[in-house]
Amino acid sequence: MATPRHLLLLLALALAPLLAVAAAEGAAEEGPRGRRLLVLLDDLAVRSSHSAFFGSLQARGFDLDFRLADDPKLSLHRYGQYLYDGLVLFAPSTPRFGGSVDQNAVLEFIDAGHDMILAADSSASDLIRGIATECGVDFDEDPEAMVVDHINYAVTDVDGDHTLIAGDDLIQSDVILGSKKIEAPVLFRGIGHAVNPSNNLVLKVLSASPSAYSANPKTKLASPPSLTGSAISLVSVMQARNNARVLVSGSLDLFSNRFLKSGVQKAGSKKRYERAGNEQFVTETSKWVFHERGHLKAVNVKHHKVGETNEPGMYRINDDLEYSVEIYEWSGTSWKPYVADDVQLQFFMMSPYVLKTMSTDKKGLYSISFKVPDVYGVFQFKVEYQRLGYTGLSFTKQIPVRPYRHNEYERFITSAYPYYTASFSSMGAFFIFSFVYLYHK
Amino acid sequence: MPRATSDAKLLIQSLSNAYAATPTNLKIIDLYVICAVATALIQVAYMGLVGSFPFNSFLSGVLSCIGTAVLAVCLRIQVNKDNKEFKDLPPERAFADFVLCNLVLHLVIMNFLG
Amino acid sequence: MAEPVSSAAASGGGRLRNAFGGVLCAFTLLLIGVVAFSIRLFSVIKYESVIHEFDPYFNFRVTQFLSKNGIYEFWNWFDDRTWYPLGRVIGGTVYPGLTLTAGTMWWLVNALNIPLSVETVCVFTAPIFSANASWATYLLTKEAKGTGAGLMAAAILAMVPSYISRSVAGSYDNEAVAIFALIFTFYLYVKTLNTGSLFYATLNALSYFYMVCSWGGYTFIINLIPMHVLLCIVTGRYSSRLYIAYAPLVILGTLLAALVPVVGFNAVMTSEHFASFLVFIILHVVALVYYIKGLLTPRLFKVAMTLVISVGLAVCFAVVAVLVALVASSPTKGWSGRSLSLLDPTYASKYIPIIASVSEHQPPTWPSYFMDINVLAFLIPAGIISCFLPLSDASSFMVLYLVTAVYFSGVMVRLMLVLAPAACILSGIALSEVFGVLTRSIKFQLSKLFDDSSAAVSASGDSGPESSTNSTKSENRNEKSETAPKEKPSKKNRKKEKEVAESVPVKPKKEKRLLVLPFELSIMGILLLIVLGGFYVVHCVWAAAEAYSAPSIVLTSRSRDGLHVFDDFREAYAWLSHNTDVDDKVASWWDYGYQTTAMANRTVIVDNNTWNNTHIATVGTAMSSPEKAAWEIFNSLDVKYVLVVFGGLVGYPSDDINKFLWMVRIGGGVFPHIKEPDYLRDGQYRVDAQATPTMLNCLMYKLCYYRFVETDGKGFDRVRGYEIGKKHFKLTHFEEVFTTHHWMVRIYKLKPQKNRVRGKLKKLKSNAKTSSTLVAGRKKNPWQ
């Protein structure tokens, strides 16, 4: 029996969440990345076996779309717009993607500025290996190989199985791994990969210990393995030039519920940890990958002459000018001022004529004032800021610098006074002379 | 040597005698020329001491003095009654040309000075 | 009895004839001006009113800026759209004469509410000033030899092909006004020399100032005039008029030259001006010597001389030693590169490849003399002889001018232009002398024929053959004009009629025997000379119409199906201006820099000013390097687009592949890893299958011949005449964005840096093969 009062109450109850959401949407700031993730699996069972990881993602506000990797209706974009903002590839053994997705489509997705988490294991197909190589990560070419470590393995029930690694050689970066140190080792079972040391876009997040090597665990070693020691990377990240981030892990089990919840004891050590470091590790790295941490933006580039407020189109040599820029960092929910003491400004024309560290007011404003050099030309205000784990800031502003105008020099030069007097005296002498000459008798 | 000195004395004497015979207006012009050249030499000496920093001022100062000297010499040539080529030229016309040229010279000097 | 009456009547008639002669002279001059103007309009008629070549586009852009922003902004203009990132201070590096002249004309015309655009004024500046130049030639030759020679020389200059080549309508370059300034300065100098008036000396200095503003060739004036003064002194022709002509010019001229920012202190510090100061000092010494000579007796004068010489020589040596030390301490001995290459023709090819690479700086071939000054080449020697009978200051100046001009024109083909006025003047003098002799002979013979009894008829001032009395000013008018054809050469004949033999009598009356030739010979002579003149005119008109009217920005060719027009350059510049951002930088070889900034309005890296050799060498190195190295160089210069000119499809011979060796040489001059022999096979420059790998891999080859094989399947290059070497290749660091209709201009964009850096593993061949080896059982159970 619905009386008008009850109806009104129902209506209010129905609308309230909407209003709340609307209010929340309005109040919440727009982060640098969207919230729609496509999760590609080669076996739907992975959805439940890795539910803890997926649940943590959903708790942070992501909308996950689970699909089979060879789903014929798979598509990353429609009518020119991308349908998703990030990709989680937990399909190591897929030989081919379905629908309109293939290796090139995935790479274009990354080049369009979207992030990806890629997990492989010993059944990794050539497709997955190819994607990883395009991102700068080379898996071991031997398809049967796994990472084996006879010294730093995790103790398990199966004796002699040294493929379960307890990795604790983590990268030293608070940005990537969070401010809280990961105490427990991270459990890993899978294939190893190498990164090119001259490639400055790729970083090793979790490296193997010096005693690890990558080989087939079931057969005897015929020849020395190609990948050994700390050169083996277990988990790597790549930050492309357009700041798209890719996490490549050689083990799908790293993310599984089993590893997240199990305890770990390193072989040869007495300490047993109740919880492996996997949960903290995957949470923090996924936060970094999806740009919830370590994302900088620079806005409001301003420059003007000291004492003025408008931005001139051209400076003059030996002018005094001020330059300022605001840099913010995304904290996961809002833009916070970025505080650092190493942001530098270059006044650049084929080489930096002025290179100064900018001072900050701790609220995100970086400013510097300097004198324009004594050279004219077309200069650039150049800021190149690349710091480990942070997005790269690289922006320039072109500004010409002109020489003195003809009336901007010193008006009267003291050492030239004799010349001035001589010239005027010759004028005067001419005047007197003409009088004398004309009127003498 | 005594021959040379006596020759020199004779030379100077005859020179000054011949010069005394020139008309007054030419002598005035000669005085003017000597003043101008002297000023120019003073400036060159000053430049040698101090250096040539505002070179354009130095050039305009020196060239203004030398310029007035040269123009005065031109006037002297045109006004000199001994000069056969210019006997048709009225001295007023010569003076007017002289004034015009000086005007142009000093205008340019003022422009170049600073 | 009859004599006074007839003489009175004759004098009255003489005044009338003088007036008639004056009007005829003025009318003839007007017609000469019209001829000079209209003969240069062929390119406007055949193509359109457009600015030609490369340099005029820069001058046009500067004039546009001047008309829009006024003179103070122009004076202080810092151009940031060229020579990126160095910029160029226009105010201090450009000769302002041309732009100020055209700007003034435009302002004047617009102030009178005649709405001419800046472009129209710029296109027609050159013909207007060539008319002025002919009138100045008339004045100059009149000072040397009289009105008849003046008119003749003016008519010849109006049409001479060498001058036409640099002053057609649309050739908006410095020489257009500079030649007028040159002739006018020389006229004022000769006038001052002849009259000794300080007024003309002032005007001379001002005209010299205009010349300094207009062209770098002003050094020719400031060296020729001192040479002439020295010549006069040495040949004993010193006079006070010489002093008045030269001394104020040096002072005022140096000051005025120093006022122009381009010249600045070079007016007193470079070796090009030392000659004038040296002769200034010498002149003063000579003047002083003459003055003292006038004061003293000869014996005393000798004594003074010995005294002075002994002292003076010592001082002289000291000064000269100081000067020589100063000059020798500078590596180029104080001369600028261009002047040195004039004095030593091999200098540029050894040390400054940029100067050597310009085609205008090559020595001329013998046929180009005939092409450019035609018939005058034969008349010049006659003119030289005529100048010596009698020799005056003015005619000695003409001869000196001609001799120096001939030398310099032999060094650089561009300086044929300076030879042209000298050639015209001397030919005019020669022709007028010849006509004078021939017509005098005819008159005399005719008068003898008609009335050989009374020589009294010829008493009315007939300059008879036996004697000439210089007091008679009136000339006998020849009523009968032998030839009255209506073509242009008739003008020359008419003015020969009224030629007044009133060469200013410097020497006292002397009896001269004048030459008289037989009647038939004279008639034949006149007819033949008129035919010669006719050939000259026909050649000039042909040269103006066919050879020198090409705007070089639009090309045409005739084929079976009519006229083809190649407007590729403007197509490319229009594409650039519409499809790129305002701040995008375009790199090309320096030839096209001015046109790109003026028409496409984009920033360029190097342009035709060629003031910075290292920058040009950087671009040259980039063009000669493989793709990756070239990308690095261009990226460091913030270049976005690269432009190349390619003529292989249509047969356009002045394309970048033909200029490529100069890029290698200039680049190799600064960056030693570029070596010219790497690009040559057995010393020969080839781009076919025999070419060296360095050549086939360099950026210029790739950008020119990318996809060229698609045009005809074989890649046959019409300019080089063979098939190219590497036909199928891809570009890795550049992408093609535009190719014009006839493939003449090709524009490429630099690809941005790759987003990801690839790992080391090789790309896998096919996924299909591996998928078949994959067994379903490989999928691991995620629960374990």
Query: Strand pairing of C555-559 and C585-587?
Result: unpaired
**pLDDT tens column, A256-310:** 998 888 888 888 888 888 888 889 999 999 999 999 988 999 998 999 999 888 9
By three-state DSSP, how is residue A378 classified? strand
Q: What is residue A122's predicted lDDT score, i.e. its pLDDT? A: 86
Nearest alpha carbon to residue A128 among C754, C767, C760: C767
C311 and chain B in contact, CB less than 8 A: no
Is the pLDDT at C470 greater than 60? The verdict is no
Cross-strand bridge partners of residue A369:
A322
Compare B87 and C634 and report the one with higher pLDDT: C634
Mean pLDDT, chain C, as a whole number?
84
pLDDT of residue C461: 41
Q: What token pair was written down for C614? A: 């290292």
Residue A391: phi, psi to the nearest 5? -70, 150
Contacts with C766 (C-beta within 8 Å, 6 or more apart), sequence order: none
Is A113 in CB contact (< 8 Å) with chain C?
no
Give Cα C522 to chain centroid, integer Å: 39
CB proximity C197 to B under 8 Å: yes
Q: How many CA atoms lie within 13 A of C586 on its CB side?
A: 34
Q: What is the pLDDT of residues A26-38, one digit of tens each?
A: 556 778 888 899 9
Where would I find the beta strands (DSSP E) of A98-173? 115-119, 137-139, 146-149, 165-167, 169-170
What's the pLDDT score for residue C431? Answer: 93
Asked whether the beta carbons of residue C782 and residue A252 sit closer than 8 angstroms, the reply is: yes
What is the pLDDT, as a whole number, of residue A150?
A: 85
CB neighbour list of residue A196: distance below 8 Å, 6 or more residues apart:
A136, A138, A202, C757, C759, C760
The answer to whether C624 and C700 have CB atoms below 8 angstroms apart is yes
- Going by pLDDT thresholds of 50, 70 and 90, the confidence category of residue C771 is very low
Residue boundaries of the structural domains of chain B: 24-113
DSSP C736: E
Residue C199: is it exposed, middle or buried by C-beta count within 10 angstroms (0-12/13-18/19+)? middle
Q: In this predicted model, which residue has the larger pLDDT, C300 or C210? A: C210
| Torsion angle, alpha carbons of C177, C179, C180, C182, to 10 | 120
Least confident of A4-8, A388-392, C508-512: C508-512
List pLDDT tens digits, range C27-69: 999 999 999 999 999 989 988 888 988 899 999 999 999 999 9
Tell me whether residues C241 and B85 touch, CB distance under 8 A.
Answer: yes
Helices (H) and strands (E) in chain C, counts: 34, 11
Nearest-angstrom CA–CA distance, C473 and C143: 18
Structure tokens that stand for C755 in this block: 């987003």
Minimal Cβ distance to C753: which of A110, A241, A378: A241
Between C508 and A432, whose confidence is greater?
A432
Secondary structure (DSSP) of C264-328: TTHHHHSHHHHHHHHHHHHHHHHHHHHHHHHHS-HHHHHHHHHHHHHHHHHHHHHHHHHHHHHHH
Which range (A145-159, A203-217, A385-399, C481-495) has the least confidence? Answer: C481-495
What mean pLDDT comes out for the span A385-392?
90
> Cβ contact (<8 Å) for C76 and A406?
yes
Contacts of A346 (CB under 8 A, 6+ apart): A352, A354, A355, A380, A381, A382, A383, A384
Burial of C609 from C-beta contacts in 10 A (0-12 / 13-18 / 19+): middle
**CATH top-level class for A296-402?**
mainly beta
Read off φ and ψ for residue A368, nearest 5 degrees.
-155, 150
Between CA A397 and CA A404, with CA A402 as vertex, the angle to 5 degrees is: 150
**Paired tokens of C533:** 């003149």
Percent of chain C with pLDDT over 90: 51
Quick check: B98 and C295 CB within 8 A?
A: no
Question: Residue C505: what pLDDT?
Answer: 38
Average model confidence (pLDDT) for chain A?
87
Residue of chain A whose alpha carbon sits nearest to that of B67: A426
Q: In chain A, what residues touch B28 (CB-CB under 8 Å)?
A: 433, 436-437, 440
Q: Output the pLDDT for position C456.
A: 47
Contact between residue B11 and residue C307 where contact means Cβ atoms under 8 Å apart = yes
**What's the CATH architecture for A32-289?**
3-Layer(aba) Sandwich (3.40)
Q: Answer for the pair A370, A321: CB distance below 8 angstroms, yes or no.
A: yes
The angle, 0 to 180 degrees and rounded to 10, between the axes of the packed helices A278-289 and A51-59 is 50
Of C758, C774, C780, the CB nearest to A125: C774
CA dist A99 and A109 (Å) reads 15
Q: Return the SS3 of A266.
A: strand
Residues 314-333 of C with CB under 8 A from A: none
Q: Are C444 and C392 in contact (CB under 8 A)?
A: no
Closest to A234 in 3D by CA, of A256, A203, A266, A261: A203
> Dmax over Cα atoms in chain B, in whole Å?
55
Q: How many CB pairs under 8 A join A and B?
A: 72
Over 90: is that where the pLDDT of C486 sits?
A: no
Which CATH architecture group holds C564-750? 3-Layer(aba) Sandwich (3.40)
Interface with chain C: mutation pick from A96, A118, A126, A163, highest number of C CBs within 10 Å: A126
Q: Residue C186 — pLDDT band, cuts 50, 70, 90?
A: very high
CB A403 within 8 A of CB C109: no
Give the count of alpha carbons within 13 A of B65, CB side only.
Answer: 23
pLDDT grade for C444, boundaries at 50, 70 and 90? confident
Question: Mind telling me how many Å the CA of C13 is from chain A's nearest CA?
Answer: 45
Residue C312's pLDDT band (cuts 50, 70, 90): confident
Question: What is the CB-side half-sphere exposure of residue C688 using CA atoms within 13 A?
Answer: 11
Pick from A141-145, B24-28, C224-228, C356-360: least confident = C356-360
Residue of C761, C764, C765, C772 to mutate, testing the A interface (most A Cβ within 10 Å of its Cβ): C761
Residue C729 has pLDDT above 50, yes or no: yes
- pLDDT tens, residue by residue, A248-258: 999 898 899 98
CB atoms inside a 10 Å sphere around CB A251 = 30
pLDDT confidence of residue A359: 92
Nearest-CA distance from B20 to chain C in Å? 10
The predicted pLDDT at position C483 comes to 35
Ranges C171-185, C389-403, C479-493: which has the least confidence: C479-493
Give the number of other Cβ atoms within 10 Å of residue C202's Cβ.
Answer: 24
Half-sphere exposure (CA, 13 Å, Cβ side) for C279?
A: 28
- Select from B37, B101, B102 the residue whose CB has the most chain A CBs within 10 Å, as the one to mutate to test that interface: B102
Query: Any idea which of A402-406, C352-356, C691-695 has the lowest mean pLDDT?
Result: C352-356
Torsion angle (degrees, nearest 10) of CA A291, A293, A298, A299: 80
What pLDDT, in 10s, does the model give residues A51-88? Answer: 999 999 999 989 999 989 888 888 888 898 999 999 99
Question: A14: pLDDT confidence band, cut at 50, 70 and 90?
Answer: low
Least Cα distance to B79 among C292, A438, C282, C294 occurs for A438
For residue A393, the surrounding DSSP H or E stretch is strand A393-402
**CB contact set of C217 (below 8 Å; sequence gap of 6+):** C178, C182, C415, C418
Residue B61 near chain C (CB below 8 Å)? no
Residues 6+ positions from C727 with CB-CB distance below 8 Å: C705, C708, C709, C715
Could you tell me if A439 lies within 8 Å of chain B, comparing CB atoms? Answer: no
Please write the tens of the pLDDT for every residue from C220-262.
Answer: 999 999 999 999 999 988 888 999 999 999 999 999 999 999 9
* CB-based contact B74 C247, cutoff 8 Å: yes
Distance CA B109, CA A422 (A): 11
Over residues B84-103, mean pLDDT: 88
Nearest to C41 by CA among C109, C112, C130: C130
CB contact under 8 A, C756 and A46: no
Whole-angstrom distance, CA of residue C101 vs CA of residue C126: 11
C765 in contact with chain A, both atoms CB, cutoff 8 A: no
pLDDT in tens, C759-770: 887 775 554 444
Share of chain A above pLDDT 90, in %: 41
Q: Which residues of C492-502 are buried (b: 16+ CB within 10 A; e: fewer)?
A: bbebbbbbeee
Q: Taking residues C261-268, report their average pLDDT.
A: 89
Nearest-Cα residue of chain A relative to residue B76: A437
pTM comes to 0.84
Is C92 within 8 Å of chain B by CB?
no
Q: Where are the domains of chain C?
A: 10-172+365-453+485-498+513-553, 181-334, 564-750
Inter-chain touch C782–A96, beta carbons under 8 Å: no
Q: What's the pLDDT score for residue C781?
A: 57
Q: Which of C552, C544, C225, C217 is nearest to C409 (CA)?
A: C217
Chain A interface, mutation test: which of C71, C73, C78, C769, most A Cβ atoms within 10 Å? C78
Phi, psi of A36 (to 5 degrees): -95, 120
Q: Tell me, what DSSP letter sits at residue A311?
A: -
State the Cα–Cα distance between residues C263 and C218, nearest whole angstrom: 10
- The span from the CA of C134 to the CA of C145, in Å, is 16
Is the CB of residue C409 less than 8 Å from the CB of residue C416?
A: yes
Q: Is the pLDDT of residue A215 over 60?
A: yes
Q: Would you tell me how many other CB atoms lie within 10 Å of the CB of residue A1? A: 3
Residue C736's CB is within 10 A of a number of other CB atoms, namely: 13
Most confident of A226-240, B79-93, C203-217, C277-291: C203-217
Residue C457: which pLDDT band, with cuts at 50, 70 and 90? Answer: very low
Which residues from C are below 8 Å from B89, CB to CB? 196-197
CA distance C207 to C189: 10
| Separation in Å, CA of B114 to nearest CA in chain A | 7
What pLDDT does B20 receive?
A: 81
